[in-house]
Amino acid sequence: MGLFDTVKLYDDVHLPEYPENAKPAGGIDWQTKGIDRPCMDTFRITADGRLLKEEWHAETVPPEDRPYASRDDVDEDDPRYYMGMMERIHDGWIERHEYHGRFEITHSFDSADLVVRYRVTFTHGRLENFERIQ
């Protein structure tokens, strides 16, 4: 398994050979391990072919708002006390003007029988094309 990044597509992004009757491509999260080093970042591909990366910071969630910390049977010695202690706060998007290369995006639909994979090519920060490879 390991770490991966999420790629989101704006609604007007067209994917060639996209499966009929599948949820719209802009409404799902695609996974990739091919942009930089994967570390659970979120990227967006815009309708005009730009690659954006989400900027964010983390804030501490008070114990009373965590899923287990407020339970009577969980104290600070229990690892569950710390589950959900950090929250990712969205700060905006930055454009990856310099990105030059290829990466794959993958999504598994309701069953493992339908896995869709595309190779995405960017040249100097601009989308060149999508190529369906699975």
pLDDT digits (tens, 9 = 90+) for 3-32: 999 999 998 888 999 888 778 888 889 999
Pair 90, 54: CB distance under 8 Å? yes
Q: Provide, rounded to the nearest whole percent, the portion of the chain with pLDDT above 70.
A: 98
pLDDT of residue 134: 82
What's the mean pLDDT in 44-54? 95
User: Does pLDDT of 117 surpass 70?
Assistant: yes
* pTM above threshold 0.85: no
pLDDT of residue 98: 92
pLDDT of residue 1: 59
pLDDT of residue 35: 92
Cα distance between residue 5 and residue 96, in whole Å: 15
Residue whose entry in the numeric block shows the structure tokens 């310099």: 98
Mean pLDDT of the chain: 91
pLDDT of residue 77: 92
pLDDT in tens, 56-108: 999 999 999 999 998 889 999 999 999 999 999 999 999 999 999 999 999 98
Cα distance between residue 19 and residue 15, in whole Å: 9
Task: Answer left, alpha or beta for residue 25, where phi above 0 means left and psi between -120 and 50 means alpha.
Answer: alpha
